[in-house]
Structure 1
């Protein structure tokens, strides 16, 4: 019986002795629990396991208010050190001064070497201590803006040394400027265009910063409705003139003229999602990697399911090539726009690559 099976059995049996050794996240509710949680058991396909609460939170899950999984004492010494490191980071950021602690400071605080902490932190949480701190700081900043703090106060309380640090990354991490986010996203303008492609209709949407969505389908009304559902607070308008050049790049890629659609992007994601998306971008056109392969490359061999979920939440299909990720069995699995399109995209990439090799 592998570790996943043991964890599944412990969860289904509400084994209290397993509390503190892992947490269980449920994709249908976006909540994570301790193994002994008395709540009703979800469908097996909606279950994800994480080594510690902070890793589940990095993946976008919230702590259960019934079983309080954060309160369970960790059993593994390394897990205790990593959790303690997370507490030190949070405490430093809550103080609003000096920014997050350095790796050496964290290592000293938890009583281990910097290299060991870096390695175990990345394995257990899914990101480095620095990436974790960046995500935690940004989350705190956004929360303070939603609560009504002014931008200057939110910056200080979140541990940012200067406004430029958050503004220069706003497009990549927030999808809009702090001032716009503070208003709930109202006023953010997103244009979109829809065109015929070899794979049906393609929708490309974006802000002045870059592309925020690429959808494929057969019905224009459905694609536009999907966009509005994903970005409900933005002002969304059809703008063929402004989006035309970006649509042209996507069409050239789908027609086999480009190996990859190089586009400026304006997308949001957790630190873990961004790591997965970076790994997807590293897969050469025409090639594939399994979810497990990607998890191993990230130093988290047991996170294949979480990798699959990050692929599924990719808002810019094609630009971030989630179609190049396949199941561990080598078969095509789960593509938002249909497995027939996923197969067709890969076939076109392979055909273009074959022509390029033959011409070389």
Structure 2
């Protein structure tokens, strides 16, 4: 991420954090802009370029009331149908076009023996990330602050695999998710290392339509384990593929944002960003 992009992203993150912590007071454009040391005009332009909506509208998307209204929609038949198909009812969403393949027991047990993993660094609307892939699909995607530590974490997950810094089509197709035209997304393939229970939870997350939210309890009910909310939460927290497996769409039953492996500011940003995108479809 070059210096200006990094500065702009940091300003957006700071603004989102301020909005998230102060939305009950409905802060004005001038108040938010002052917090990131920009004029109201330049801040609104920067924020709208990033989110596709105004700061005021974004504030509405991340409010507790908005989250509760989305959760209430879960009671509707249309939402239940969406959970089954991965469709929101308007436009093509990426969820239905992600194929998940679990690693074989041998690959899982032996830490990736005989796997060749390509990895690269890339930019996203939510900061720098690392993406890694086998010949079958994306096996790892994470937001990062330090490239050396990110590679070390990847190798720790697959201690016996071979690694090469290399771009490939699988990575390219996955990164297309951050483009604006959701109707032109290619097929995305994932090759995941996880238990049967984890894979079941992750596949269920893919059925939450973009721009919608669910809860840990609802996910547990959907997989037939209504009393296993805590285990579901643990599986969600161990998601190895940021954004593509949308664990950011799972919040508390109260409407609270809840935790997130890559930080609550990123989670809030993703929820608001997706709401803006789906509102424009």
> Which TM class, normalised by the smaller chain length?
0.5 to 0.7
Cα deviation for residue 186 of structure 1 reads 3.2
Q: Determine if contact 2:108/2:193 at 8 Å carries over to the other structure.
A: no
Task: State the partner residue of 1:172.
Answer: 101
Q: How does 1:54-203 map to 2 (within 5 A)?
A: 172-175=101-104, 178=106, 185-203=112-130
Distance 1:348 1:248, change over 3 A: farther
Report the CA distance shift for 1:218/1:254 in structure 2 as closer, same or farther (over 3 A). Answer: farther
* Deviating 4+ runs (over 6 angstroms): 180-183
Change (3 A) 1:291 1:197: same
Provide closer, same or farther for how the CA distance between residues 223 and 181 of structure 1 changes in structure 2, counting only shifts above 3 A.
closer
Contact 1:175 1:266 (C-alpha < 8 Å) held by counterparts: no
Equivalent residue pairs, number = 181
Task: Report the secondary structure of 2:276's partner residue.
Answer: helix
Aligned mates of 1:182, 1:338 — CA distance in 2: 30
CA distance in 2, matches of 1:324, 1:317: 11
How far 1:252 moved relative to its partner?
A: 3.5
Structure-to-structure mapping, 1:9-20, within 5 angstroms: none
**8 Å CA contact retained: 2:102, 2:199:** no
SS of residue paired to 2:192:
coil
Give 1:254's aligned residue.
Answer: 178
Tell me the residue number matched to 2:194: 269
**Structure 1 residue 181, shift from structure 2 partner:** 7.1
Partner Cα distance (1:337, 1:261) in 2: 26
Kept in 2, the 8 Å contact 1:191–1:205? The answer is: yes
CA displacement at 1:283 relative to structure 2: 0.5
Cα 1:220–1:258 shift into 2, 3 Å: farther
- The higher relative CO (CA closer than 8 Å, separation ≥ 6) is in 2
Task: Measure how far apart 1:183 and its partner are.
Answer: 6.5
Could you tell me which residue of structure 1 aligns to residue 213 of structure 2? 288
- Name the CA shift for 1:254/1:232 in 2 (closer, same or farther; >3 Å): same
Which protein is bigger by CA-based radius of gyration?
1
SS of residue matched to 1:308: helix
Note closer, same or farther for the CA distance 1:299–1:239 as it changes in structure 2 (3 Å cut): same
Contact 1:254 1:345 in 2 (8 A): no
Are 1:355 and 2:276 counterparts? no
- Structure 1 residues 183, 308: closer, same or farther in 2, change over 3 A? closer
Deviates more, 1:281-290 or 1:260-269: 260-269
Matches for 1:201-240 after TM superposition, within 5 Å: 201-240=128-167
What is aligned with 2:240? 315
Distance in 1, Cα, partners of 2:187 & 2:145: 24
Aligned to 2:267: 342
Q: CA-atom RMSD, angstroms?
A: 2.5
* CA displacement at 1:336 relative to structure 2: 1.4
- After superposition, give the CA deviation of every residue in 1:91-145 in whole Å (9 maximum; x if it has no partner): xxxxxxxxxxxxxxxxxxxxxxxxxxxxxxxxxxxxxxxxxxxxxxxxxxxxxxx
- After TM superposition, give the deviation of residue 172 of structure 1 in Å: 2.9
Shift in Å, 1:174: 2.6
Which sections of structure 2, spanning at least 5 residues, go unmatched? Answer: 1-99
User: Is this contact kept in 2: 1:192–1:204, CA < 8 A?
Assistant: yes
